[in-house]
Each structure stands twice: as C-alpha cells, then as structure tokens.
Amino acid sequence: MTVTELRGAHVVLLATGGTISSRAPEAGGAVVASDTGEQVFAGMGVPASHPVRVVDVFRKGSYLLTVEDMIAICARIKEALNDPLVLGVVVTHGTDTMEETAYLVALTHDDPRPVVFTGAQEAADSGSPDGPDNLTRAIAVAGSPRARDKGVLLAFAGTIFPAAGVRKSHTTRLNAFSNPDFGTAGWVSDSGEVRMKKAASGIEPLPLPCAGAGSPRVDLIAAYPGADSTLLRAALHGGAAGIVLQGTGTGNANRELCPEIADATAAGVVVVTSTRVDAGAVVPRYGDGGGEDLRAAGAIPSGLLRPSQSLILLSLLLRLDTPKARIAEIFARRGKLP
C-alpha cells in the first residue's frame, strides 16, 4: 500500500540503514547501506500484517551514528506518533548500535504506542537474508494491541526484548541479541502472532533535548590489567564532561585510576562506573582501587546498565544540565530491575 492510499490505522516504518538495507556494490566487495526504506519494505516479499507508511530518515551503517543522529531518530518517532492513526512505529537500524538508539528512545518515549527496533545480520543481497522475516515480525508487533503500553522494544529472530538492558551478544549469529538481566518481553511467530509478558510499571520519561542544544563530550574508558591514567587524562584534556568507566568484575579499577577519578569528579566531571561482565549489577565492594574506592572518589555505579547504555543515559542527562546528585538518583533507579 502506498503512502497516498493510507487513510486508516497504520504502522510507520522509519528506515535508518544498517545491514537490512546493505548490498555490495560489486561482487565480493564490502557491503554498505544502500536500499531505501521502500526497497527494504518491498524486500519482505509477503504482505504486511498492517498497512505501512515508509519514511526514510537516513541510510547509514549504525557504526557511523553519533548521539546527535540518535536524537534525530527520537524526534522522527515523536513526529510519527503525532498522527492518531498510527498504531506504532518500526525502526530499521544497524545492529552494531541498536542497543544505544533503542535505549535513548526508551528514555524519552512518552506514548502508549509501541516503538519496535529491528534489523538484520545478513545483507539484503546475501543468499539468505534475515531482514525480511525480522521486519515482517516487527510490523506485526508494532501494530498489535498486545504491545501497547509495553514501551520501546527490540524484535529480532522471533524474540522481543525490552530496550533497557538489551545488547548485541553475538557478532554473526542470526539470534544476535540477549538481555541477561531484564529478560525478554515476548515472542512473535512467523505467522505474526504476538505474545507479550506483563510489563513492569514504567519510569517517567526524560525530556528529549532540542536539536543543537549542546553536545557535552562523554568518553568510555576501560579498566584492564596494567591500565594507567593515560587514556583518562586524554579524555579529560579533550573536554569530556562525563566518563563511563568500564570496570572489571563488580565495577573495579586499580590504585592508579582511582585517584585520577577523584580529581576528575572534584573538577566537576561526572564519572559512572559500569562493568565489562555480561550480567549482574555493579556493586561497590572492594577497596585498594576497587569499586568502593571508586564510589568514595565520586563515581556513580551504573547498576545493571552496561557501558553502552550507561553512556547514552549519561549523555542525555548532561545535555539536560542535570545536577550530579540527580544523575546518581536516576542511575540508581534505572539501573535496577523494575
């Protein structure tokens, strides 16, 4: 169904690129995002479960996206939902940073209608692309009344995940995503039957910054065996207003990093401690350069949020000029199970 024919309830498909839109310009070459949203939609090869209006946002591999690009996607979602005939929104997106964009949308989403992210692991011109099936199922979820009031979702290989806590957990496997701490939100069959779990009570959304409202720098620094403060100092010299520290274990660093973190927080830089471990909470427990020393140095534990989504939350809060005490409160609330 074309855009001009849409007069009733429908789903909006926002196309942003990614593997689902990618092809190789020449045989054996590297694939790049190239298909328009209409081409991605047509590639499904089967009728959609709901009428669909397609909107192109941009065509990029998600490894190229900036936080500003992600804010632009949020704005286009809000624009789409201004139409009362829209049942829900599907966003086709690259898998590399889908967890970041989906989480930013979840932080700012203030509508009962669902927003569903999906994409692909195999390019559109591969021998067996998975994008068409993922998109077919995502449209079924976005248009389903069962997905209403379930917030922002990620639908991939038949599984539906909440945006909070979701992460890409395999580089090439078709079922590429997991959510070890927050779990799944439901399932969608190949025939479009949607089953949803009961949703936990939501947290009030945060405002979406206006375009050009300022872009405070937030850097991600890793703790690792033998790590010193060189990279941290470089980030601070580069003007970082926030730092996400990817700690080890329960959120630990070492004797050299902790004093430097204390100096940074004393200078007004907001530091959040996450972990490289796949599941479980950041728990300040150890001294001698560990997580308890980081907390004493002024670092904020991220709870269950991993570095990718911690960076998104901190970037948003700094754009909103949120005081540090309030940032700590928000991380404490959003970093735990509902």
Q: Are 33 and 135 part of one and the same domain?
A: yes
Single out the residue in 142, 161, 196 at which a domain terminates.
Answer: 196
Choose among 147, 15, 155, 142: nearest CA to 87. Answer: 142
Q: Are 322 and 187 part of one and the same domain?
A: no
Phi then psi for 14, rounded to 5 degrees? Answer: -100, 115
DSSP 198: P
Q: Which range has the worst mean pLDDT, 28-37, 111-120, 221-230?
A: 28-37
- Please tell me whether the overall predicted TM-score, pTM, comes out greater than 0.85 for this model: yes
Single out the residue in 162, 196, 230 at which a domain terminates.
Answer: 196
Distance, in Å, from the CA atom of 135 to the CA atom of 50, rounded to the nearest integer, reads 12
CATH number at residue 299: 3.40.50.40
CATH number at residue 190: 3.40.50.1170
Give a yes or no: residue 12 inside a domain: yes
Distance, in Å, from the CA atom of 34 to the CA atom of 124, rounded to the nearest integer, reads 10
Residue 115 near residue 155, CB atoms below 8 Å: no
Phi then psi for 299, rounded to 5 degrees? Answer: -75, 145
Domain count, the chain: 2
Q: Are 37 and 106 part of one and the same domain?
A: yes
The pLDDT assigned to 156 comes to 98
Single out the residue in 196, 230, 258 at which a domain terminates.
Answer: 196
The pLDDT assigned to 25 comes to 87
171 is catalytic: no
Side chain identity at 298, as an amino acid letter? G
Q: Are 244 and 310 part of one and the same domain?
A: yes
Give a yes or no: residue 204 inside a domain: no
Distance, in Å, from the CA atom of 260 to the CA atom of 47, rounded to the nearest integer, reads 58
Q: Are 237 and 324 part of one and the same domain?
A: yes
Structure tokens at 76: 């286009």
The pLDDT assigned to 90 comes to 98
Give the 3-state DSSP-derived string for 1-62, with helices as H, strands as E and coil as C. CCHHHCCCCEEEEEEEECHHHEECCCCCCCCEECCCHHHHHHCCCCCCCCCEEEEEEEEECH
Q: Are 87 and 30 part of one and the same domain?
A: yes
Give a yes or no: residue 54 inside a domain: yes
Residue 192 near residue 136, CB atoms below 8 Å: yes
Distance, in Å, from the CA atom of 229 to the CA atom of 259, rounded to the nearest integer, reads 9
Q: Are 140 and 269 part of one and the same domain?
A: no
Give a yes or no: residue 174 inside a domain: yes
Q: Are 13 and 147 part of one and the same domain?
A: yes
Q: Are 276 and 135 part of one and the same domain?
A: no
Dihedral sign computed on CA atoms, order 329, 330, 332, 336: positive
Give a yes or no: residue 212 inside a domain: no
Q: Are 303 and 181 part of one and the same domain?
A: no
Give a yes or no: residue 205 inside a domain: no
Side chain identity at 176, as an amino acid letter? A
- What range defines the domain where residue 95 resides? 3-196
Give a yes or no: residue 110 inside a domain: yes
Q: Are 24 and 152 part of one and the same domain?
A: yes
Distance, in Å, from the CA atom of 29 to the CA atom of 17, rounded to the nearest integer, reads 18
Q: What is the mean pLDDT of residues 201-208?
A: 91
Side chain identity at 213, as an amino acid letter? A
Give a yes or no: residue 75 inside a domain: yes
**Secondary structure element (H or E) that encloses residue 274, with its range:** strand 270-275
Q: Are 121 and 243 part of one and the same domain?
A: no
Structure tokens at 121: 């692991």
DSSP 177: E
Contacts (Cβ under 8 Å, ≥6 apart) of 255: 288, 289
Per residue in 32-61, pLDDT tens? 999 999 999 999 999 999 999 999 999 999
Residues forming beta bridges with residue 274, ordered by sequence position: 246
Residue 198 near residue 227, CB atoms below 8 Å: no
Per residue in 117-169, pLDDT tens? 999 999 999 999 999 999 999 999 999 999 999 999 999 999 999 999 999 99
Confidence of residue 200 (pLDDT cuts 50, 70, 90): confident
Q: Which of 2, 16, 19, 118 is catalytic?
A: 19
